[in-house]
Amino acid sequence: MDLSLTPELIEFRDEVRTWFDEHVVGEFARHRGAGASWDDEAFDVRLAWDRELSAGGWLCLGWPKEYGGREASVDQQLVFQLEYARANPPYRATTQGQDLFGPTLLTFGTPEQKARFLPAIVRVEEQWGQGFSEPGAGSDLAGLRTKARLEGGGWVIDGQKIWTSLATHADWLYVLCRTDPDAPKHRGLSMLLIRADAPGVEVRPIRNILGGADFCEVFFTAARTPADHVVGPVDNGWHVAMGALGTERGTVLLGEHLRIRSEVEAMIAAARSRGMSPVLRRELTKAWTEARVMEWNGLRLMTSLKDRGLDPTVQASISKVFASAAHVRMGELASRIAGAPGDLVGENYAVDRFQHMFLGSRAERIFGGTEQIQLNVLAERTLGLPREPR
């Protein structure tokens, strides 16, 4: 990607930078870098930060103006991401709606659905949770068993979902259901929208290794939603879901990968203050290099989104596989830099940033598409290797 900025982009960058300098203050400054897409740390502060961004017109930049966006170009969105990483504010709390469900609805939703749901996402009035994975249907998502049937003018949903990020905060869930039980498993699926507090919906938080409860399991027992709360054609939900997952593995991860560079810089500063051996210097050099590779993979993905001959699905998988494994290694290195004090947690299981990186990164090789599945996708669809025996 050409990183040279036009005069217009320089003006836009300066506007973004000035806004961050003026608004990342107080509680927002004290919680720099807090949270992640899979973590509920400082959630109330992060939610307030989202509202601050919304008031400034900085949420959902690429969305049409009629829904609250700015219709920003890909280049402007990239500049914003780079400046966001530089400012290192709290991680946004409502990424599910802004970065996953919203773009999916923009592509597949009806005009009525867009007008109903998108402005509320931009205004941070409604939060969303993704109901995809199930026990026994995680990597093999098409094997899901949650069913929905039309009855009495609406959909009736029965089944169970798991690893529903931040479902305890969600007002709405977008749920992949089997609506034609006789169709092949990649067909006969539909994406339905349902209130998280609807009768028959039960959300149970799952405590994770960091002590948070951001992941949840959700049970549907004769839960009802209106007939028009289906995104895309009925029984064609697999195509819709792949659009959502492509976004998750691509542009959503770009912001997280840019943040990792600041983590590595903190590791370097800590190592310098405690003395750095030649071995540690070499490992930190590798970590810094891998952080830059993540950044460059993200830039390559943005290039593919500008339709310059690169397949964004392939680029998203490459970026995801590399970053997941590299971040685990960085977390292990951070733990070694911390030494014996890194084995101790604070009051109420409070963990510091290095401990957070070490523990939280373990899940990155699983969520958003497991590493094994992504490697198979790249091998079979990109390199043309024989399919794995099944």
The 10s digit of each residue's pLDDT in 303-325 is 666 665 566 677 777 888 898 89
Is residue 387 one of the residues assigned to a domain?
no
Residue 213: which of 41, 62, 373 has the closest Cα?
41
Is residue 1 one of the residues assigned to a domain?
no
Q: How far apart are CA 205 and CA 212, in angstroms?
A: 9
Answer whether residue 1 shows pLDDT above 60.
no
Q: Give whole-number Cα distances, 366 to 134, 152, 213, 319, 360, in Å.
A: 14, 39, 17, 14, 11
Look at residue 248 in the predicted model and tell me its pLDDT: 47
The residue from 65, 92, 122 where one domain ends is 122
206 and 135 in one domain? yes
Is residue 2 one of the residues assigned to a domain?
no
201 and 136 in one domain? yes
The 10s digit of each residue's pLDDT in 13-42 is 999 999 999 999 999 999 988 887 667 788
CATH number at residue 167: 2.40.110.10
376 and 250 in one domain? yes
In this prediction the pTM is 0.86
- Rounded to the nearest 10°, the torsion over CA 89, 301, 119, 66 is 120
Domain that holds residue 62: 7-122
Look at residue 227 in the predicted model and tell me its pLDDT: 96
The 10s digit of each residue's pLDDT in 65-119 is 999 999 998 888 888 988 998 898 998 999 889 988 999 999 999 999 999 999 9
Q: What is the mean pLDDT of the chain?
A: 88
Is residue 148 one of the residues assigned to a domain?
yes
377 and 247 in one domain? yes
Residue 285 exposure: Cα atoms within 13 Å on the Cβ side: 7
290 and 345 in one domain? yes
The 10s digit of each residue's pLDDT in 261-293 is 888 999 999 999 888 889 999 999 999 999 999
289 and 222 in one domain? no
Residue 248 annotated in active site? yes
Q: Which of 41, 52, 217, 248 is catalytic?
A: 248
Structure tokens at 98: 């802004």
155 and 191 in one domain? yes
Is residue 43 one of the residues assigned to a domain?
yes
Burial 58-67 (b: 16+ CB within 10 A, else e): bbbbbbeeeb
How many domains are contained in the chain?
3
Answer whether residue 383 shows pLDDT above 80.
yes
The residue from 234, 263, 289 where one domain ends is 234
69 and 149 in one domain? no
Indicate the pLDDT class of residue 160, thresholds 50, 70 and 90. very high
Is residue 244 one of the residues assigned to a domain?
yes
